[in-house]
Amino acid sequence: MLYYTLVITGIQDQIMYIVEVIPLTILPSNVPQLLSYFFNKKLEKGAIAEIPFGNRKVLAAVVASTPLEHQKILLKKTGFQLKKISNVISETSQVSNNQFKTALWLSRYYYAPLGYCLKTVLPPFFLKKGYGTLTQNSLQDIALPETRRYLAKPLFLLSGAKETLANILPFIKKAVGGQGQVALIVPDTSTLRYFYGELSRNYEVAAVHSGLNNKKLYEAWQKAGSGKADIILGTRQALFLPFKNLKLLIVDDVQHEFYKSDMTPKYNTPDLARVIAGFNNARIIFVSVISGVENYYRLKNKDYELLDETKPRSPVKIADMAGEIKNGNFSLFSREFKNQITSSINPSSQNKKILIFSPRRGHSGVLICRNCGYAVKCKECGIAFRIHKTTDLILVCHHCSRSLKMPENCPNCSSFEFKTAGPAGTQKIYEEVRRLVKYSGAEKIPIMVLDADVVKNETEEEEIIEEINNPGTSVIISTQMIFSHRYDVKFDLVGILNADSLIGAPDFRTEERLFYQMEKLLDFLPAGRHGQSKNMIIQTYNSENQAILTASEGTYKDFYDKELETRKIFSYPPYSRLIKLTYRHKYKDKASYEARVLSGKLKMAIAQMKLEQKIKLIDPHPSFVEKERGLFVYNIVLKILPEFENIKDILKYVPSNWSIDADPRTII
């Protein structure tokens, strides 16, 4: 049931209608999201009105109009009177039934303001002059069925990137051949460009991403809503398009971090995709190179169907860098990796492609005072600067991009003695590779860097990828930016310079993120032909680390089973639902105090409602990145066990100046 608030003013004695609306503005999530006003005519569902709201006027979408005489008893009981709608912007429907339902689901599932969810669902050109309306869906009752009734059951396709297109094409052909539409959701524009180039040869494709202007986006909406487009291809916002007879929805690279929205409503794209598929009675396919713990659990429980199309892995070797140092090798490269690079760039070796993967951009690690051990930190974020090299060495914050000159003395103790610590970045690796190439007499071999410092736009990125694919031997040093090109780029040798830095963050999902990145890197290595050896080398200072050993051996099933046992003991997903509550303030003491106050209120409420066995609370703690934009950040995490569903009974105690993140990617 939807609840509404009656707001005070006078009602004249004439034929009137009570109009229920969703204000297209932010209301605190713990107050009613549907408001009631009166008007002298019936307004259509989806119509847009201007309403008085406090001391200002805001736009609102009409949900229902009821004759006043049907509500007289209710009005008398409440003792309140209604305000009149100020103005009608559009008497005809501008919001479709599916848009209403999607917004309502987002609001309920992610505990976000309903009006803000509706603004998220509506296109940026909504109500702007020169753009028509697209509401081909009939506007019926927007009440949602139970979650289990409208969630589509996914087919989980395990597939390497280079085989993904071939594996999904039969499903696409079947859907389009049956006069249906297909939606293919991808994590980024680089992946979008690849699929567009392949699919647009045989199908009418509407491409959607955040970089489109209103004109281009409107054209894509028209193609989708009219049924002209066979395939809607886009990043996560493509889910909000007005589909015409959607028969198949595919989410590629389903575990990608870009699928989690970092803005309210903080939705997770695969979960929303299941809902959209359910609304449209469409089939849904999740695609990934690896299942991950929670999807493995769902596959075991038959919540998902499995289609395994993975190929045999290329060999993976571990290089023990601690042992290398003991044996006198202080280079960035292990002896074996250096030998394989040297062999690959030898003039007798033709058309060898080498990828050196570094999780870090920049030159060196952090700057540390030799006297007191202080690491020079960003005042805005509280995290250590990393050293970059332009004309001179500078310090750059990788969180907010703030930069400053290298200090002459320590800000903490005034000492003039500094040292660097931490893994090398792409700039330093480039210098080392140049020396190695020069020493080998192969100076003409292209050495490229692909990271956010070097690449400023899509054109520059595509130029580097084109150079990689050109005939001849080449070396590329890259961060995670290379992952989007697994579909059409191949390497003969892949090296991870510091795998330990992939495990750094103390979060319960850290190890499976390591596996995910390892498998993506293996995706670049096609099976060797004619006896050619193609392999990956993992450099680590902790060669006995179980996560790195598991990643190198590919024995994920054993790890998943053990990990599920551990998560069950500590009530982590999939055995609970996480809710992260976050507070920010410019003063650390204030942030800490407010976090303790709310934690105390929540603990008291949990105890009074006797929910100790259904809700677990992780005490307030500073965020892993202590500050954001100069504000100190504190988190409280709730673990909600499956048998408890009335989460709003607890979240009503959360003040409106806290943010709520349901199903967060990380709890730190």
Annotated binding site: 369, 372, 378, 381, 397, 400, 410, 413
Residue 579 in contact with residue 305, Cβ under 8 Å? Answer: no
* d(C-alpha 458, C-alpha 453), whole Å: 13
Residue 440 in contact with residue 346, Cβ under 8 Å? Answer: yes
Binding-site residues from annotation for Zn(2+): 369, 372, 378, 381, 397, 400, 410, 413
Query: Can you read off the two tokens belonging to residue 481?
Result: 């930016």
Residue 585 in contact with residue 631, Cβ under 8 Å? Answer: yes
Residue 163 vs residues 94, 167, 170, 487, 518: alpha-carbon distances, Å: 41, 6, 12, 8, 18
| C-alpha Rg value of the chain to the nearest Å | 28
**b/e map 79-104, b = 16+ CB within 10 Å:** eeebbbbbeeebeebbbbbbbbbbbb
Residue 215 in contact with residue 152, Cβ under 8 Å? Answer: no
Pairing of strands 4-6, 34-39: parallel
Query: Greatest CA span in the chain, whole angstroms?
Result: 95
Closest CA to 565 of 300, 381, 187: 300
> Residue 107, class by beta-carbon neighbours within 10 Å (0-12 exposed, 13-18 middle, 19+ buried)?
buried
Rounded to the nearest 10 degrees, what angle do helices 510-522 and 556-570 cross at? 160
Residue 101 in contact with residue 116, Cβ under 8 Å? Answer: no
Q: Where are the alpha helices (DSSP H) in 386-493?
A: 426-439, 458-469
Residue 47 vs residues 66, 85, 133, 613, 626: alpha-carbon distances, Å: 14, 12, 11, 46, 45
- The DSSP bridge partners found for residue 624 are none
